[in-house]
Amino acid sequence: MPKLRSAILLLTLVSVGLPAQDSPENRIAASLKQLAAAAAPIQDSLNLAIKTDFRSLLDRPGALNASYTDLPMTRVEAPDGAFKLFTWNLPRTDGSHLFEGFLLARTAQGQAVYELRDMTGKITAPEVPELGPEKWYGALYYEVIPVKKGGRTYYTLLGWKGYSKAETRKVIDVLSFKGGKPRFGAPLFSAKKETKSRIKPMRRVFGYAFSVTMTLRYDPELEAIIMDHLSPHRPDLKDQWAFYGPDMTHDGYFWHKGEWWFGPEIDLREPENAKPGKASDQRKR
């Protein structure tokens, strides 16, 4: 009996010291690490398992208060605690990407979980429509910038979007809530002056060559989204985004009078002169 009790005690101590290998968090992390190297059918199976485990994880009471720092995916959260937004991607062998995501939002009743469905292939004019979780212009979001207009909060999202073997994209999108339901896209960007269009974009999309990188970040001192200006390698390649790249100049979007105003050719050595109050109204376009 003493030997049996000792064996039971040893087994208990060993079990307590072992990680919970079958926890949803560990299963999600393990599957995410395998996605990039897996063939498409295996990717899809792993992805289905990830989404199943993720939903069970986010459906838990108090899920909004958890940190999720151990999950190897892109995660942003609203500074006011309104939501947590999780995104990941499946890189395909043809250079395209399928994006996945979950939005965990605070509600009057507690919390709600929304699965995001990437419908990039069916969105022919991505800057125009307002979209919902069921029809989403997929991206990996890495920064959120809250702004207010008319007593309502809009969350400006910066994201990376793998697109093809030749082209990468970055996105400025907007998340807001209407009647408690999430919507992507909002008419907060001034219409482009050069097109003589009065239709304001719901989001901004920037394409550039796969072989280069583009800076797109928020500068809190300027209160502006700063980005590399993209130009084609040759004039005859205009509007062919796969041949665009940074040209060593910078543009920006400034939050001014309830809109994101476009500021071209910003001199970052004199940032004060770049703000709308000190720039001409030609910046609005």
DSSP-assigned letter for residue 191: P
Q: Is residue 33 part of a domain?
A: no
Q: Going along 127-285, which residue ranges are E strands?
A: 140-149, 152-162, 167-178, 181-184, 204-209, 216-219, 224-232, 244-256, 259-263
Q: Is residue 100 part of a domain?
A: yes
Q: What share of the chain is helix, strand, coil (3-state, %, to 5)?
A: 25, 40, 35
Phi-psi region of 150 (alpha: psi -120 to 50; beta: other; left: phi over 0): left
Question: Phi and psi for 227 in degrees, rounded to 5?
Answer: -145, 155
Total count of domains within the chain:
1
- Mention every residue, 6+ apart, whose C-beta is less than 8 A from residue 20: 26
Q: Is residue 108 part of a domain?
A: yes
At 82, is the pLDDT very low, low, confident or very high (cuts 50, 70, 90)? very high
Q: Is residue 5 part of a domain?
A: no
Range in 6-15, 72-81, 197-206, 235-244 with the lowest mean pLDDT? 6-15
- pLDDT tens digits, residue range 232-280? 999 999 999 999 999 999 999 999 999 999 988 887 766 566 666 554 4
Mean predicted confidence (pLDDT) in 119-147:
97
Mean predicted confidence (pLDDT) in 172-179:
96
Q: Is residue 60 part of a domain?
A: no
- pLDDT tens digits, residue range 38-51? 998 999 999 999 99
For residue 244, what are the domain limits?
Answer: 73-283
Task: Specify the long-range contacts of residues 232-235, CB closer than 8 Å, at least 24 apart.
Answer: 233/209
Share of the chain above pLDDT 70, in %: 84
Q: Is residue 67 part of a domain?
A: no
Q: Which residue has the higher pLDDT, 196 or 183?
A: 183
pTM value surpassing 0.85? yes
| Cβ 66 vs Cβ 56: under 8 Å | no
Q: Tell me what pLDDT residue 243 has.
A: 98
Range in 9-18, 25-34, 190-199 with the lowest mean pLDDT? 9-18
Q: Is residue 172 part of a domain?
A: yes
Mean pLDDT of the chain: 87
- 18 pLDDT more than 50: no
Q: State CA 51 to chain mean position distance.
A: 17
> Can you give the C-alpha Rg of the chain in angstroms?
23
Report the alpha-carbon distance of residue 91 to residue 69 in Å, rounded. 22
Residues paired with 246 in a beta bridge: 230
Report the alpha-carbon distance of residue 105 to residue 81 in Å, rounded. 9
